[in-house]
Amino acid sequence: MRLGVLDVGSNTIHLQVMDAHPGARPTPATNFKVELRLTEYLDSDGSITAEGIKQLHEAVADAVKHANQNKTDEILAFATSAVRDAKNGPEIIQDINQKHQIDLQILTGDEEARMTFLAVRRWLGWSAGKLLVLDIGGGSLEIASGIDENPEATISLPLGAARLTRDFLSGDPYSSKSVKFLEDFVSSKLEDDLPAILRSHDANHFVATSKTFRTLARLSGHMFNENPKYLESANLKSMISKLADMTDKSRAELPGVSASRAQQIVAGGVVARAVMATLDIDRVEICPWALREGIVLRRLDWLNN
């Protein structure tokens, strides 16, 4: 069957169409993406503005059209932290579902962490042992750990790259003061909010997923001639300093860094370095599967029962 996964995220509206059936590896068929940083369309009371809602509807309409043109059997639609945290999120979801005839659901942070963990487990297999999975999105950071397909511990924190860039970083290039303030905030948040079960993890395989970590790993490979399938914590301090001293335009000219990602990669690097230090991780392996694949795998599991 052909499944369309519609991800209404903090940075993009991304439709991934996959050919899939129970027991088989999902195969990407086509995708459609609109860059829409919803965190930039928040008013003073935390609601998404009328302009943000208008652009969101246009992006969803185009994504649904693309899915229909490619003969998608079912659209699995979900929204993450930007809509989840917006005060008018439930109203927006209801309106989208009525106008576009889809079933867009808000994922909780815990669900997001669990679906991502499932994707990583299926990609790496049982021989990978106990996993600790990190995922930095636009609005939140998810961490999950466990030895089975369902993690034994998860947490979602409001430490996404887009959110932190908007709230803390200023200047072009960013001022050293704002970067230092961000670093202190992230470290303090992790120290205060990470539960003991994650702090005292006994995982033996450390994995990172999604665009921020993939971009950091590519940059590490470019700057330090490292294998881009991994990210070393020792390289992050130097990378953050170099990236923060660059302008948005200069960062966007680096390999694998889009114009939109160029603004956020410093904050993403700060979070990556802080969480790896807090959890005493020297290196993470980059997994190509993440939340969207997890959603498909869970749907296939349900169909197979």
Over the stretch 32-55, which tens digit does the pLDDT of each residue have? 999 999 989 999 999 999 999 999
Residues 6+ apart with CB under 8 A from 13: 6, 7, 33, 34, 36, 56, 59, 60, 63
Query: Residue ranges of the alpha helices (H) in the chain?
Result: 50-69, 81-85, 89-100, 109-124, 161-168, 176-193, 196-199, 210-224, 233-244, 248-252, 259-278, 291-304
Distance CA 40, CA 29 (A): 31
Q: Is the peptide bond before 173 cis (omega within 30 degrees of 0)?
A: yes
> What's residue 22's pLDDT?
86
Query: So what CATH class is 125-287?
Result: alpha beta
Q: Over the stretch 88-105, which tens digit does the pLDDT of each residue have? A: 999 999 999 999 999 999
| Whole-Å CA distances, 26 to 58, 103, 295 | 28, 21, 11
Per-residue tokens: 70? 């490619």
CB neighbours of 225 closer than 8 A, spacing ≥ 6?
none
pLDDT at 258: 86
pTM beyond 0.85: yes
Mean pLDDT across the chain: 96
Q: Which residues of the chain have pLDDT under 70?
A: none
Domain coordinates in residue numbering, the chain: 2-106, 125-287
Are the folds of 2-106 and 125-287 the same? Answer: yes
Quote the CATH superfamily of domain 2-106. Answer: ATPase, nucleotide binding domain (3.30.420.40)
C-alpha 190: how far from its chain's center? 18
